[in-house]
């Protein structure tokens, strides 16, 4: 399965995906990395891994549809079967999301449906939850919503601040995203209504790390 990764920043999740896909046993091949932010460190990571990169700066386009037309053109050119959002910090229109229905996945730093949006670690601490984590899900028009493929939970420690908690979640993200991508690329994560049915994945608990 040919995968394009959309990024906006440092790209540590991209790195986890690149590392996993470098293993010949991984069923996904990363064929393009596209950043909406010029100079994003994620681009360097992709170049080091020998993956084609492209900057599509949203500021250079007159409105979201024009920006997304350029994205679609680049994705088509790359022959992408699946889009992975990895720290891609632009909201996408319904039209773009519909075009990639069940073919676009995202990682979010919380146990959805809790803590959609930004500043998830601060908000988890304020809420006093004992467990926090991350989610990989198919993308739907509503922000940070869509059928959940896999989640990883981490404990919240009494002395945590947002940075410490965020670092623990990020480590979990780096394990979770390659696993979720594997499930999707192998055809073992199938959407059924609001849920994802996992089949034949070998490890019984691999959707809960």
**129 neighbors 114 (Cβ within 8 angstroms):** yes
Bridge partners (DSSP) listed for residue 196: 191
Is 11 flagged in the annotation as binding?
yes
Residues between 20 and 79 with contacts to ligand GAR, criterion CB under 6 A: none
> How far, in Å, CA of 208 to CA of 204, rounded?
9
Task: Please report, for residues 57, 59, 158, 171, 209, the alpha-carbon distance to residue 33 in angstroms, rounded to integers and kept in the order given.
Answer: 13, 18, 38, 21, 27
Write the CB contacts of 52 (distance below 8 Å, at least 6 apart in sequence): 31, 32, 33, 46, 78
Stretch that binds ligand GAR, among 104-112, 125-133, 156-164, 196-204 (CB under 6 A): 104-112
Is 10 flagged in the annotation as binding?
no
Report if residue 111 touches ligand GAR, rule: CB under 6 A: no
Of 108, 132, 182, 188, the residue at the interface with ligand GAR (CB under 6 A) is 108
**DSSP secondary structure string for all residues of 49-84:** TT--EEE--GGGSSSHHHHHHHHHHHHHHHT-SEEE
Report if residue 133 touches ligand GAR, rule: CB under 6 A: no
Report if residue 9 touches ligand GAR, rule: CB under 6 A: yes
Q: Length of the chain in residues, anyone?
A: 209
Catalytic residue selected from 26, 58, 101, 108: 108
- Tell me the HSE value of 44 on the side-chain side, using a 13 A CA sphere: 6
Is 183 flagged in the annotation as binding?
no
Stretch that binds ligand GAR, among 8-16, 44-52, 145-153, 179-187 (CB under 6 A): 8-16
Report how many residues bind ligand GAR under the rule CB under 6 A. Answer: 13
Residue with tokens 């470098």: 22
Of 55, 125, 129, 170, the residue at the interface with ligand GAR (CB under 6 A) is 170
Is there a catalytic annotation at residue 108? yes
Report if residue 104 touches ligand GAR, rule: CB under 6 A: no
Q: Which residues are catalytic?
A: 108
Binding site for (6R)-10-formyltetrahydrofolate, by residue number, is: 64, 89-92, 106
User: Applying CB under 6 A, which residues contact ligand GAR?
Assistant: 9-13, 86-87, 107-109, 144, 170, 173
């Amino acid at each position: 399965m040919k995968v394009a990764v959309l990024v906006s920043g440092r790209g540590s999740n991209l790195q986890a995906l690149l590392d996993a896909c470098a293993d010949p046993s991984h069923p996904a091949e990363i064929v393009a990395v596209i950043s909406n932010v010029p100079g994003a460190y994620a681009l360097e990571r992709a170049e080091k891994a020998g993956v084609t990169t492209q900057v599509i700066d949203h500021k250079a386009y007159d409105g979201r549809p024009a920006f997304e037309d350029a994205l679609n053109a680049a994705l088509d050119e790359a022959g992408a079967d699946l889009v992975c959002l990895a720290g891609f910090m632009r909201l996408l229109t319904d039209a773009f999301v519909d075009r990639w229905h069940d073919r676009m996945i995202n990682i979010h730093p919380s146990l959805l449906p809790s803590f959609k949006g930004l500043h998830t670690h601060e908000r988890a601490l304020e809420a006093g939850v004992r467990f926090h984590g991350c989610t990989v899900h198919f993308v739907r028009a509503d922000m940070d919503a869509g059928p959940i493929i896999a989640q990883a939970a981490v404990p919240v420690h009494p002395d945590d601040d947002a940075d410490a908690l965020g670092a623990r979640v990020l480590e979990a993200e780096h394990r979770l995203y390659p696993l979720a991508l594997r499930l999707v690329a192998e055809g073992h994560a199938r959407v059924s209504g609001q849920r994802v049915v996992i089949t034949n994945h070998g490890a019984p608990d691999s959707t809960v790390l």
